[in-house]
Amino acid sequence: LQGIPTTDAAFMREQVLTKLGMTKSSWGGGTIGTGWTGTLSDMGKLGTMLAHDGWYNGERFMERRWVYRMSHPAHEDANTSYGQLAWLNHRGNAAGIGGDIGSGSNTKDGDPCAPAAFWDAYPHEGSEAPDCRATVAGASCEQKHDVGIFSAQGLGGQFIVVHPGLDLVIVAHNYSNMNGPMGM
């Protein structure tokens, strides 16, 4: 099989890092979600690709449906703050470090600039949940636009925060504020 990388590290280097122009990034061949070292610029490229439903520089790197699954709750019955490999804003029934946008807000449904991610239908693929399980007082599952914020979060305060509705990507190294993406 000519032209196909022979290792996970080679695949990552040849098919992702090089094609995205991540010239200062490296991936140690660890499991998905670990082992990547990148500059703020390279983190921004990855975030931009995710914000644009898997497209970057005129090329598709990831199927839109996979980005959607990353950026929406994986299992509402268990935890609405985590998608598939990404942390999410949520409206309750959550554990972990995804931000809680429903509490401490002056508006009934949380911060409109930091919307929660909801699936377009319930139940949906991967979950039999009948609704979004909003548990924060006054929060609802209604949302005018499907633009929930999601983030990749690494050890030592590494963050890639993606807001598709604003076409906005925020990246940080060594961000030590305990509020994580919501503190940004």
Taking Cα atoms as reference points, which of 133, 131, 164 lies closest to residue 146? Answer: 164
pTM: 0.78
For the stretch 109-145, pLDDT in tens is 445 566 777 777 777 777 777 777 666 666 666 666 6
Residue 20 · residue 49 · CB < 8 Å: yes
Where are any strands of DSSP class E within the chain?
26-27, 36-37, 55-56, 59-60, 87-88, 150-154, 158-163, 168-172
Assign 53 a pLDDT band (cuts: 50, 70, 90): very high
| Cα–Cα dist 23/41, whole Å | 10
> Across the chain, which distance is largest between two alpha carbons, in Å?
59
Q: Does the pLDDT at position 33 exceed 70?
A: no
Average pLDDT over residues 148-154: 84
**CA dihedral of 47, 61, 14, 37, whole degrees rounded to 10:** 20
Tokens 């999601």 sit on residue:
150
Tally of CB atoms within 10 A around 29: 14
**pLDDT band at 66; cut points 50, 70, 90:** confident
- 118, 125, 120, 163: which is closest to 140 by C-alpha? 118
